[in-house]
A and B are shown apart, each in its own frame.
Chain A
Amino acid sequence: MFHLAVDSAIELGVLEARHDSLLCTLVDRNREHLRRWVPWLDNNTTVSDSRAFIDQARERYVNREGLDAGIWHRNRLAGLVSFNDIDWGNRRAGIGYWLSSDCQGRGIMTRSCAALIGHAFGKLDLNRVEIRCSPRNDRSRAIPTRLGFTHEGVIRQAEWLYDHFEDHEIYGLLAGEWPTSGER
C-alpha cells in the first residue's frame, strides 16, 4: 500500500480499516467547517461509513483508479489528500484535499500536495495534475497558487452543494513545469 514520507513531520499513507473511528472522529470535529466546501458530509456520519470509505479507497488504489492518502502530522491524522479519478489514457489526475481546522496555517497541505505531485510526475509518469476549488475558498486556492499552477478557468455551477450550485476554479500544472527534486 502507498506510503510516502513528506518530511520529518508529515507522512502520507492509504488508511487501514483500523483507522475507521479515528477518521470518523476527525470528520465529525470538522463537519461544520467542511460543509461549506465538500458534498459528502451527509453520507459520512457513522464509523461504518468511514470504514466503507476506507475499504473503497483501498480498492480504488489496488485498481489504480485513484489514491486517497491520510495525512499524518506528527503521527496524528490531520486530513486527507487524494488523486481523484486517475485518467491513464490522458495521463492526468485531479488532486482533492481537506485538513482539520486545528492543523491549518502550518503549510501541512502545501507540503503534502507537493509530495503527491512529485509522485504523480515521477513514479506515475502523469503529464497533468489539476486542482479544482470554490472561488470563495481562499485557503484552498492558495495551495495551487503557491505551487506554481496556472489558473485555467472557472467552471460555472460545477457542483451541487446541499442547497446551491458552486463554481469551481480550475488550476493546471504540467510535468514540464514541475521542478525536479534537485531544483526544489
Chain B
Amino acid sequence: MGTEDIYAQFPRLETPHLLLRDLQPQDAPAIFRIFSDPQVTRYYDLDTFTSLEQARELIDRFRQRFTNRIGLRWAIAHRAEPDSLLGTCGFNAWFQSSHRAIIGYDLIRSHWRRGITSEALTAILHFGFDQMALNRVEALIFGENVPSQHLLEKLRFQREGLLREYEHLQGRFVDMAIYSLLHHEFAQGR
C-alpha cells in the first residue's frame, strides 16, 4: 500500500483488547462524557465541554482532518463492543514530505492507568512507521502533565526539550515538553 492510499479508506486497527475505528456522529454522547470532565481537559487545548453540541463539533473537526488529508484520529473502542468509545488518539498532523507526524490522545477518566492508551498508541505507532512511512513521531505535552510524559517515556519516546510559553491555552501561556520517537528506535524495540 502506498502512503497516498491511506486517505482512501479510514484504516481500522485491532489490538488484543481494543478496536481503533473512525469516529461517527453517534459517538457524540461518549465524547461529551470524556470532555466534560475538567480532569481530562486540564491538559488539553479545549475548554471543558458544557454541551453536546461541542462534542459534535469536535467529532466533525476530527473527521475533517481525514477528509482534508491533514491527519487521522481514531476512536478507541473495546474490541468486543465496536460501538463503545473510551477515548480517541491519532496523528493530528501528518507531514508526508518530511515523514513526520504529531500524535495526540485522550481517554475517559474511569479507564485511566489500565494501559489502554499505551496499547492504542502502540498500534498507531506500528501503523505510522510501517504504513505511513513515518521517520519521526512527535508529541507536545503540557510541561505540568507528568503522567502523560511518563506514558510516552514508557513507549520509548525521548524528551527533547521544554519549549517555554510555547502555547497560549486556557487564558495563559504554557510550557510544552517536546518528545519524539524515531523510526530506527521503534524498530530496535520490536
Contact = CB atoms under 8 A, between A and B. Distances in A.
A174 B98 CA distance: 29
A16 interface: no
Nearest to B138: A155
Main secondary structure on A side of the interface with B:
strand
A89 interface: yes
A156 B160 CA distance: 8
Interface stretch (B14-22, B102-110, B120-128, B164-172): B164-172
A40 B164 CA distance: 29
A113 B102 CA distance: 30
Contacts of B79: none
B10 to A, nearest CB: 28
Given A153-B178, A157-B136, A159-B98, A89 B160 contact: no
Main secondary structure on B side of the interface with A:
strand
A32 to B, nearest CB: 24
Contacts of B173: 90-91, 127-128
B161 A155 contact: yes
A89 B168 CA distance: 7
Nearest to A174: B165
Interface in B145-181: 158-168, 173, 178, 180
B182 A156 contact: yes
10 contacts: A91-B173, A127-B173, A128-B164, A152-B161, A153-B159, A153-B161, A153-B163, A156-B160, A170-B163, A172-B166
Interface of B: 97-99, 135-136, 158-168, 173, 178, 180, 182
What 7 pairs between A and B have smallest CB-CB spacing?
A153-B161, A152-B161, A153-B160, A90-B168, A90-B167, A172-B164, A128-B165
Given A152-B161, A152-B164, A153-B162, 19 more contacts: A90-B167, A127-B165, A130-B163, A152-B162, A153-B159, A153-B161, A153-B178, A154-B161, A156-B160, A156-B180, A159-B98, A160-B97, A160-B98, A160-B99, A170-B161, A170-B163, A172-B163, A172-B165, A174-B164
